[in-house]
Structure 1
Amino acid sequence: MKSKRIVITGGPGSGKTSLINFLEKKGYNCLPEVSRAVIKKAQAEGIDQLFLEDPILFSEHLLKGRLEQFNELPIGNDDYIFYDRGLPDVTSYMDYLGTTYPTYFSETCLKNRYDAIFLLPPWEDIYIQDNERYESFDQAEKIFEYLHQGYQNYGYEVHHVPVGSIEYRCDFILKKLKTLI
């Protein structure tokens, strides 16, 4: 049986990574977000905010990293593989910035398909800005809308995950997956 590719996405400060970490502790195959590594590498090279300074270069690094994740399925017979963000996040963020990007970005998103998309809303109670998360909470809310629209533009049904404990959110996703796949 082929594992189903499941994206967990959302704007900054929505609890995505905590949820992915929780799923991983429960024994699910989970692939981490690649943007923090790209940001840290750029900062080590003296570029404070690569996404703002050169959004195309930053996005090319993200697209490449996420495509590598997509193509390198983990070993095992797990029903699900959870991704901390998916390929359409790249174009959604660029749309948010109003940045024009080459057509291969969209073509890559259309060609490499996930089985289910779960979108987490911004959550002000847990929102923290740091060296890699420079957006304000208002910006996080706008990014959430762009992510929703971006995935819909690629033909996905987007499932909104309600705010709540990590356990509640995990149960919501796992129960929903049983009805979808």
Structure 2
Amino acid sequence: MSEQFVVLSGCSGGGKSSLLAELARRGHAVVEEPGRRIVAEEMRTGGTALPWVDLEAFARRAVRMALADRNSAPGEGLVFFDRGLVDAAVALEQATGEPEIERLGRAHRYGRQVFLTPPWPEIYETDPERPHGFDEAVAEYDRLARAYDALDYEIVILPKVGIVARADFVVAALGLSA
């Protein structure tokens, strides 16, 4: 079943959410990024489980949400995840030093290919839900690439092209028709 789960990960501000929206437009099942959903809710309610306020609380919540997303994903066809459990485990390990990447990453696999958005300074922007700078985004990308590699995923680096061309690339890499 995990082979149907396709993760889009990589650098913050690299175009994952835009790519996810294009894949949804094409009729694919998608799951939005746990982190963005948590940040939006925390900002709306005045909460503190924000990565720039309490990274540990944020990461623990992201782990729970990513597990719930996997468990509630459609049972048939491909499902594209904007980030996932490995990303949450990387954040948790960064916040606490707890070695959760290996444990969570091996127990809850996604499809063997993971698509990473590389650092792309020309499109990177901060916003109220992503206040960190580009250097921090690159460091996050490096942690994620190491984690996915250590978990034996086939890392596919997405080209720095427009959203439609990126979606075409993903679809072709998965052997699907555009």
- For residues 103 and 142 of structure 1, what CA distance do their matches in structure 2 show? 18
Write the distance in 2 (CA, Å) between the matches of 1:74 and 1:6.
12
Aligned length in residues: 175
Which residue pairs with 1:134 in the alignment?
A: 131
The residue number in structure 2 matching 1:88 is: 86
2:34, 2:62 within 8 Å by CA — same for their partners in 1?
yes
1:156 is the counterpart of 2:153: yes
- CA–CA distance in structure 1, aligned partners of residues 134 and 121 of structure 2: 7
State whether structure 2 residue 168 is matched by structure 1 residue 178. Answer: no
Match of 2:11 in 1: 11
**Counterpart among 95, 101, 104 of residue 99 in structure 1:** 95
Letter of the 1:167 partner, please give it. V
Give the stretch that moved more between structures: 19-28 or 104-113: 104-113
Q: Distance in 1 between matches of 2:10 and 2:95?
A: 20
TM-score normalized by the length of structure 2: 0.87
Q: For 1:85-120, what per-residue CA distance to the aligned partner results, in whole angstroms no more than 9, with x for missing partners?
A: 01111132345xx43244556422210101121001
Choose from 109, 115, 120 the match for 1:118: 115
Q: Secondary structure in 2 aligned to 1:52? A: coil
Cα distance in 1 between the residues matched to 2:44 and 2:85: 25
CA displacement, residues 129-160 of structure 1 (integer Å, 9 cap, x when unaligned) = 11110111122122111110111122212111
C-alpha separation in 2, matches of 1:110 and 1:87: 10
The 1:152–1:2 alpha-carbon spacing in structure 2 relative to 1, beyond 3 Å, is closer
In the alignment, structure 1 residue 143 sits paired with structure 2 residue 123: no
Q: Is the 8 A contact 2:49 2:58 kept in 1?
A: no
Please give the root-mean-square deviation of Cα atoms over the aligned residues, in Å: 2.2
Q: TM-score, normalised by structure 1?
A: 0.86
**Percentage identity across paired residues of the two chains:** 29
Partner of 2:60: 60
Counterpart residue type for residue 172 of structure 1: F
**Runs of 5+ in structure 1 lacking a partner?**
none
Partner of 2:32: 32
Secondary structure in structure 2 of the residue aligned to 1:125: coil
Secondary structure of the residue aligned to 1:93 is helix
Question: How far did residue 48 of structure 1 move?
Answer: 6.0
